[in-house]
Structure 1
Amino acid sequence: MNTDYHFPISSSTAANCTVKTIRDESVGTIKDIMLDTETGEVAYVVLSVDTGFLNLGSKLLALPWEAFDFHGHQRDVIIVNVEKEKLENAPGFDEDNWPVGPQYEFINDVHTYYGFRRRRALIE
């Protein structure tokens, strides 16, 4: 996040924002924010991709918290700092098939795919 100001944001506020690329292309909305129950940190953000974006259908993508800029110039827009090509091939799942069971491998794969380090490793 490149910003001089860091303010808390509620999950309901984040879910009501439009997610756009740096090039002002609408990507979708935040469906959910998954919390790591061991550390209390955000494990990943679930992005619901708009049907027309990159022909991904209604895919859900898991992205690291650090992939988003929540402090843009528009209050109702959140910027995803990821290239379109990266999103096109991103780890995802559908509405009826969310990741279950031990999540540490999935979460680490998500962070590795996008090039972000986990602040803390999950307890294995």
Structure 2
Amino acid sequence: MAIGTYEADNRTGINHEGADANIPVQRLTATSIIGDKVINRADEDLGNIQNLMINIQTGKIEYVVLESGSFLGIGGKLFAIPYNELILDGPRRCFVLDRTKEYVKNSPGFDKDHWPDTNSDTAYYAEVNQYWVYR
């Protein structure tokens, strides 16, 4: 398969058939993710990705920081959403979260001016993980 086809696959999200089929969009830059819209399967707007939380030990994205419930940047709340909960929708340039608005609203969140401590506040991330895994 020609290199140009891989590039077209990654741009369009269309996976060509055959032995050389490509998995669309294998890598994204942080700046291409930050600001992306997150919707659910009912096409409801759940918010926008404000930041990424990267595990320094593994180098993997653990959480996206989702801002939800704001109007023109006012009154919103931030939520750490496990990255593996999101599905990329390349053609629409957004992420899909298979949860309701109510589910996100009830998840452990935090205020824009009071982020959880990334070094010692393991209680917050334990609560986040429990919420997303066991509900």
Q: Is the CA contact (8 Å cut-off) linking 1:44 and 1:107 kept in structure 2?
A: no
CA gap 1:104/1:43 in 2 versus in 1, 3 angstroms: farther
Question: Could you say which structure has the higher helix fraction?
Answer: 2
Over the residues paired in the alignment, what is the CA RMSD in angstroms? 2.0
Instruction: Report the TM-score, using the length of structure 2 for normalisation.
Output: 0.69
Q: Is the CA contact (8 Å cut-off) linking 2:86 and 2:95 kept in structure 1?
A: yes
Aligned pairs for 1:30-109 (under 5 A) are 30-51=49-70, 57-74=75-92, 76-100=93-117, 101-109=119-127
Letter in 2 for 1:92: G
The structure, 1 or 2, with the larger RCO (C-alpha pairs under 8 Å, 6+ apart) is: 1
Deviations 1:70-100 (CA, angstroms, capped at 9, x unpaired) = 14541x2211222222112111011100001
Whole-angstrom CA distance in 2 between matches of 1:72 and 1:40: 23
Instruction: Report the TM-score, using the length of structure 1 for normalisation.
Output: 0.75
Structure having the higher Rg: 2
